[in-house]
Chain A
Amino acid sequence: MSPEITSWSILLTPLLVSLIIFSLGRKHNALSGWLSIAGAFVNLGLSILFFVNYNTDLQRITLNFNWFTLGKDSYIFSFLIDHYTLTMLFVVNVVALLVQLFSLEYMHHDRDLFRYFAYLNLFVFSMLGIVLTDSLFVMYAFWELVGLSSYLLIGFWYESHAPNQAAKKAFLMNRIGDAGFLLGIFLAFYLLKTNSLTAISHLDFTQINPTLLTATGLLLFCGCIGKSAQFPLHTWLPDAMEGPTPVSALIHAATMVAAGIFMLVRIHPVLTVDAKIVIAVIGTITMLMGAFYAIFQTDIKKTLAYSTVSQLGLMVVAIALSINGEAAFGHLFSHAFFKAGLFLCAGAIIHALHQTGEVFDAQDMRLMGGLAKKTPIIFVCFTICSAALMGLPFTTGAETKFSILKVAFDFALQQHSQWTWVFPFAIILGISMTAFYSIRQILFIFVGNFRNEKVNISTIQERNIFLNLPIILLALASIIGLGTILTKVFLVEIPVVSTWKYDAISEYFAIGLGLLTGWLTYQQFGIKMPHINTMDSFYDSIFVKSTLSFAHFLHTFDSKIVDNSVNYLAKLQVVFAQIIAWFDRSFIDGIPNGSAAIVGSVGRVTQHFQNGKVQWYFVAAFLGILSMIIFMAF
């Protein structure tokens, strides 16, 4: 198959599946899942085929399709096929397939199953769009679509309040980032005269105003801040856990949040040194903050969510510090598998607890414990994925994390400046914290005694192939063996100029320290967890309240100010109405009392006008005119 047809069919299959599922409707709920999985299979096959045929080193194929032409500007719809694209196609399709398999069992009781799968496919379509496109404008279009479908999926259980709020929050937070992203795209187009990613990567940036270029890079980075949940817009991601757990695995761990990182990898050439420093600082803050918050979570999914925030921060740092995006992309790749695995494990545990039929918070880790005996497969898989998250040896995570660390040390060594050492050591600190909360999470869930008195532990069981198969596969993909093969095939070697000789030792020391302290605190304090405030309350007081009061002010001005003024107008209305009434009486029908009804209604109108507002409109308008004249004169 030609690359054109392949890429179009990869892009459009999910859309087609989505439309079919939608049009089939609720009657075919059962069918929708299988249809969706069939589509995902086809797509995965195509992606692998595509990869095998076109992944030669450094080959970039750009497929151009002329969209439309206006005057001198022609708008091109184009695909960029390179190593990154092909790898991402594989990742998205694999995780999507596994998640859909998982969903078959996890969601099977849901009334609106068809809607779920339709949204899921819509999401995959828009994500693939981001991956495939060569144009920043088109990327923005798909970027919005990703936001929309994620909004729909987070709010999938719209009957309850929390998912609705979470969906809204995610959408709005993303919009803030997107606004910056759009401005960045405009600025890039203005500065570089192109929006093609291929063209951007070949540009000579020496002729361009460095300040504006920095601004461009930072504005584009705003998109990443929103979508990849970077500080200070990271708060939506933990809330987004209100959505179905498989969705969290697909969107909020493996793919959508990775879109920001992917975009940064794409626009890497645009980033100036100054922009990179800012990005690195934001990434570092996000990484440490996410890890810090993850320690204090009691909800199994929230811990993973903050852990995701932290890992995304790590990737952003990696992009900022490296000369190309390979290191971050590598971690993105391995993270997609092990984090999706962790989320699906969490989903499986929640599912198992729900199956007991009791009503309680199935996501609270304080109500778990000792599940290792009951759910051995989940336990093993969770531990493997967690190990990969920590970066323990023999996992994919170890390799990719270590490359990031090496890149950071390389950066610090190259810069000849003391403070650049902050970044590698922050990463080491982050690694240590990751080990800390991960080991605690495992201990909480699987070790010790079962702490929920409502449920008889013997009723808990893992039983379903649809739940276990995806988990096992993802765990396998995260560990030596399958994982090694995958990384060998899909990732490239990361060139490093200089290395710090203690890098490996310091990393393992950090992991060890994290594990040890995690284990010790568990021994010492058990499941007690102090409550800390996340940034939500801060946002609430600063932004939400001030906006509310401003809007309230506008609203008051618009409606209420004047309850007790008026009168002239009312009288005028009386006069006006009387003229009509008189006209009516004398000319229309000549019956003197014919106007009684109208007069009555006039009275009501007058009454209504007693709190009319037109005078204040005049006041506002006149003040406007006056100030405009004064403004113009001086």
Chain B
Amino acid sequence: MNSIIALSLFGIANLFLGFLNNRKILMPATLAFILFALGLNLADWNTEVLWFNNMLRTNNLSVNFTTVILVATLLVVAISRGFGDDEEHSHPAEYYAIMLFSVVGAIMMVTFENLLMLFIGLEILSVSMYVLTGSDKRNLRSNEAALKYFLMGAFATGILLFGVALVYGATGSFSIYGIGNFVTENRMGQSEITPMLYVGILLIIIGLLFKVSAAPFHFWTPDVYEGAPTIFTAFMSTVVKTAGFAALYRLLSVSFVGEYGKWVYLLYFLCAATLIIANITAVYQQSFKRMMAFSSISHAGYLLMTVTSNQATTQSSILFYSLAYSIATVTAFAVMILVSENKTSNGKPDESFDAFKGLAKNNPLLAFALAVSMLSLAGIPLTAGFWGKFFIFSDAFKRGLILDLIVAVLMSAVGVYYYFKPIIASYMKEGNIQEITIKPIYKLTLIITTILTILLGLMPDLVKSIF
């Protein structure tokens, strides 16, 4: 809650900072704001508070999720290079302000206790993302992506809201615990449950599945990820995904757990479908960014699996996976931004795998960071991603989701194929990439994320025991 208030104020402060002529101050200021919010957030550790008439709940779970979100934001801001460098991004104050506001929405999605707060949080996050997606105004792809995202997002919001209304009608409560109690009591068999409840639950789940881009609601993802400016693609694929899964997990584990048997098979199928569609389509992509979009969809599939398995360890598995995934994704996009800007085709950044050809020769750091992040995303041992997958698989195993597990293991094998494409391109293909100059903070971020990925791969208990 404190971090929500702080970030809202900081967002406004950022807008005012935009009046200053010195744009260079914006990025450090934003970093400081986020760090401050992170501090406020961590100060809530081990306290359990309900805010404003049961609207928000702060506990260790929410603190953990907020930390993951803020860390991801921090990394994204650190690789944003101040935006001020080129004409296209001439409104850095607005960008940073909107990013901070959207984090407010994301935090609300992980702390909500009342469905209204979930809805408002989701809207804050989504509206910010529509704007940021379309922020590259001269780029047609960016405009198209923003409009598509907006249309699909509005549709999802409508579905979610309708679901909330139906659930409210059936249970008489917006509170997730109130709904949970009602569902569980009715499960015990006093009265007949109205079909409104089931349809409501389903629509809420679908609304959230849209946001986390699970099949068959994933179609917008590749277009939007490809069209959006890369820095915001990185933001989208980390923060939005984490927040979406946190919300989904809280709803399923608290509110709807009484009807577990009703929705679990559905998610079971969707999880398998998401994994298969995403991974197989990803194999045939030529653009790195589009491949990352499908990779993001496939990670939604893995996370869906642990949400479905509903074990005691599920929350820490989601957290660990989100953290590992976010770090690796930000690294990958950070490298991609540099490489694609370095090598343009037809005046546009070249985002295909070919752009990475011969990267290792003159830019060993970039190539290494890319390789580590790809290995982590692929789940190769001794990287953070391996443990992320490992924890998720063992959760699914305890629940006995054998079929999903088989699909997931097979699809992670497929995943290795396409994650290796950029590695192969950068290490084993000939190319002529000159040495790319990197700003110190950018370099520092890359080094930190790479070290973190390997460190978490060697010692996952560092954070897993906290989560």
Taking Cβ atoms with an 8 Å cutoff, the residues of A that contact B are 67-71, 75, 140-141, 144-145, 148, 155, 158-159, 164, 168, 171-172, 175-176, 178-179, 182-183, 186, 190, 547, 550-552, 554-555, 558, 569, 573, 576, 601, 604-605, 608-609, 612-614, 616-618, 620-621, 623-625, 628-629, 631-633
Contact = CB atoms under 8 A, between A and B. Distances in A.
11 contacts: A69-B465, A70-B464, A141-B386, A171-B417, A183-B409, A551-B281, A558-B222, A621-B216, A625-B202, A628-B270, A632-B262
Contact of B263 (A155, A186, A604, A632): A632
A183 B222 CA distance: 31
B81 interface: no
Contacts of A569: 151
B348 interface: no
Contacts of B269: 631
B262 A573 contact: no
8 cross-chain pairs, A with B, having the tightest CB-CB distances, nearest first:
A68-B461, A141-B381, A624-B216, A617-B219, A175-B413, A158-B428, A179-B413, A179-B409
Contact of A70 (B217, B283, B409, B461): B461
Nearest to A617: B219
B266 A608 contact: no
Given A145-B381, A171-B417, A613-B223, 8 more contacts: A159-B430, A179-B410, A186-B394, A554-B280, A569-B151, A617-B152, A621-B219, A633-B195
Contacts of B42: none
Contacts of B429: 158
A617 B277 CA distance: 15
Nearest to A548: B284
Q: Which of A175, A605, A628 has the most CB of B within 10 A?
A: A628
Contacts of B386: 141
Nearest to A552: B284
Main secondary structure of the interface of B (DSSP, over half): helix
A514 to B, nearest CB: 40
Interface string B423-447: 0000011100000000000000000
A67 B397 CA distance: 22
Contact of A186 (B265, B405, B430): B405
Nearest to B375: A148
Contacts of A621: 152, 155, 210, 216-217, 219
Interface in B142-194: 143-144, 147-148, 151-152, 155, 159
Interface string B372-389: 000000001110001000
B159 A551 contact: no
Contacts of A620: 216, 219
A554 to B, nearest CB: 5
B266 A601 contact: no
Contact of A547 (B195, B203, B222, B280): B280
A140 B430 contact: no
A631 B266 contact: yes
Given A144-B381, A623-B216, A628 B206 contact: yes
A620 B277 CA distance: 14
A608 B140 contact: yes
Contacts of B313: 71
A612 B210 contact: no
Q: Which of B219, B263, B281, B460 has the most CB of A within 10 A?
A: B219
Nearest to B294: A558
B267 to A, nearest CB: 10
B461 A144 contact: no
Contacts of B380: 144, 148
Contact of A68 (B148, B195, B420, B460): B460
Contacts of B416: 171, 175
Given A144-B380, A558-B219, A621-B219, A605 B143 contact: yes
B461 A69 contact: yes
Nearest to B265: A631
A509 to B, nearest CB: 45
A576 B147 contact: yes
A95 B382 CA distance: 27
Interface in B213-268: 215-217, 219-220, 222-223, 262-263, 265-266
A423 to B, nearest CB: 31
Q: Which of B144, B215, B381, B460 has the most CB of A within 10 A?
A: B381
A309 B382 CA distance: 31
Contacts of A628: 202, 206, 266, 270
Nearest to B429: A158
Contacts of B413: 172, 175-176, 178-179
Nearest to B217: A621
A65 to B, nearest CB: 12
A349 B252 CA distance: 67
A604 B281 contact: no
B36 interface: no
Nearest to B273: A624
B43 interface: no
Nearest to B138: A601
B9 interface: no
B406 interface: yes
A176 B465 CA distance: 32
Interface string B269-307: 110000001001101100000000000000000000000
A601 B140 contact: yes
B409 A182 contact: yes
Contacts of B199: 629
Given A144-B381, A186-B397, A628-B266, A551 B283 contact: yes
A614 B152 contact: yes
Contacts of B216: 620-621, 623-624
Contact of A172 (B265, B277, B405, B417): B417
B40 to A, nearest CB: 28
B198 interface: yes
B341 to A, nearest CB: 22
A183 B280 contact: no
B4 to A, nearest CB: 31
B73 to A, nearest CB: 27
Contacts of B397: 186, 190
B354 to A, nearest CB: 15
A8 to B, nearest CB: 15
A632 B155 contact: no
Contacts of B144: 605, 608-609, 612
A547 B409 CA distance: 17
A75 B72 CA distance: 28
A625 B464 CA distance: 36
B403 to A, nearest CB: 11
Contacts of B409: 179, 182-183
Contacts of B382: 141
A625 B262 CA distance: 15
B284 A555 contact: yes
B353 interface: no
A631 B266 CA distance: 7
Contacts of B159: 625
A183 B217 contact: no
Contacts of B406: 183
B198 A618 contact: no
Contacts of B460: 68, 70
Contacts of A190: 397
Nearest to B420: A171
A177 B116 CA distance: 49
A552 B280 CA distance: 10
Nearest to B391: A70
Given A601-B138, A617-B219, A618-B155, A573 B147 contact: yes
Contacts of A550: 280
B148 A614 contact: yes
A70 B265 CA distance: 30
Nearest to A73: B394
Contacts of B32: none
A609 to B, nearest CB: 7
B428 A632 contact: no
Contacts of B284: 551-552, 555
Nearest to A186: B397
